[in-house]
Amino acid sequence: MEITLSVLKADIGSIGGHIQPSRALADKVLEVVQHKGRKHLLDSRVSWTGDDIAILMTHQQGPGAAVIHEMAWEAFLAGTEVAKLQGLYGAGQDLLSDAFSGNVRGMGPGVAEMRFQERDAEPFVLFAADKTDPGAFNLPLYRAFADPMNTPGLLLSPSLTEGFHFVIMDVAHTGRDRVIELQAPEDLHRIAALLRDPERYVVESIWSRHSGDQAVAASTSRLHNIAGKYTGKDDPVMLVRVQKDFPATGEILAPFSTGHFVAGGMRGSHNMPLMPVPLNAGTSYFDGPPIVTGAAFCVHDGKLTDPVDVFAHPFWDRIRDQVADKAVDMRRQGFFGAAMLPMDELEYTGITTTLDGLDDRFHVRPDGPEPLRQAF
């Protein structure tokens, strides 16, 4: 059976600041999806990560289907109305357009979709991150699909040894999608040269070279490229099929034990470690730290199992302690140096107003001896 997996996410309102949505908001989104999806959906789930609501859907309309995107858009609008009635913070924050125009890409919500023929057993993991941007998935994907030090299947499984096809997007390009397609392992160093810059180059999709099937679909939206100003972090989502011709679930999860530094945290302007957390977790310290959840499913004839929380295992408690230590260590540095993002990522924030106001106060010293400074 050929099906499409679609996940669309948006920040449409949160309790207590940027923490997590209300139960009433989540229930309204689910209600709309279930009501309007009766004709078009095979199954659906609604969850949240931090202050972002994610709608996971199975259907046979294909990626980018207007009827599916419009239904999700209407669910987000309905949730926004609940957020306004409850006085939640940031109601409708990620909805950057007044009217639906056939597809939510470029309208604010993050989107990841893939179409495939179901295997006899079809396991996959939905990852959702908050307080960070799409480049947060670069390192885990590189390690899982290209590094045999992380993924022994690249050595032990003949189908994985053939490698993977990476599609990488230049998210700084604001016109039509600018992408490059590279092969692992032949282009390994070229892939690394791009993915080391996660604010510009991000993985859009990964494909098996053995079967030609798609393994990964990741959202790539940069909100400041859409809105022209800072409206919150991009908070990406990602679908990863696992097992058989793809890395095993454990090989996909292992890189998240690093707690690697990503862009995000407070006001989306800092470098902070990414913390794997249980499903439906909120944020806390310094509007973070940046978090990622993982929900493992199987799907058969388009019907989803209940999710398994991949980061709820006791192993990850110790990882969370280590990530918390890294976060506090970085915050001891305050605003200085690597603790904050470079200026090209801050240009959409209010710091530009401060710097513009200082520009006229600079002066060029004349040649000759420094004049005596007058008392202020």
Q: Which residues are catalytic?
A: 11, 230, 233
Residue 325 assigned as binding residue: no
The alpha carbon torsion through 166, 170, 175, 179 (nearest 10 deg) reads: -20
DSSP string, 171-232: TT--SS--EEEEEETTTHHHHHHHHT-TTTEEEEEEEETTT--EEEEE----HHHHHSS--S
Neighbouring CB atoms inside 10 A of 231's CB total 18
The Cα–Cα gap between 246 and 213 comes to 9
CA distances 264 to 91, 152, 207, 342, Å, are 20, 31, 28, 12
Residue 303 assigned as binding residue: no
Residue 235 assigned as binding residue: yes
Residues 6+ apart with CB under 8 A from 365: none
Residue 103 assigned as binding residue: yes
The Cα–Cα gap between 148 and 252 comes to 12
Residue 11 assigned as binding residue: yes
Residue 102 assigned as binding residue: yes
The Cα–Cα gap between 112 and 106 comes to 13
Residue 244 assigned as binding residue: yes
DSSP string, 116-147: EEPPSS-EEEEEEEESB-GGGGHHHHHHHHH-
Residue 267 assigned as binding residue: yes
Residue 243 assigned as binding residue: yes
Residue 344 assigned as binding residue: no
Closest CA to 293 of 147, 138, 131, 88: 131
Residue 241 assigned as binding residue: no
DSSP code of residue 317: H
CA quadruple 302, 236, 9, 306: dihedral positive or negative? positive
Task: Return the SS3 of 26.
Answer: helix
Residue 287 assigned as binding residue: yes
Q: Residues forming the annotated binding site for dihydroxyacetone phosphate?
A: 18, 131, 267, 287
Binding region: 11, 18, 51-52, 89, 93, 102-103, 130-131, 233-235, 243-244, 267, 287, 348
Binding residues for Mg(2+): 11, 18, 51-52, 93, 130, 233-235
Annotated binding-site ranges for beta-D-fructose 1,6-bisphosphate: 18, 89, 102-103, 131, 243-244, 267, 287, 348
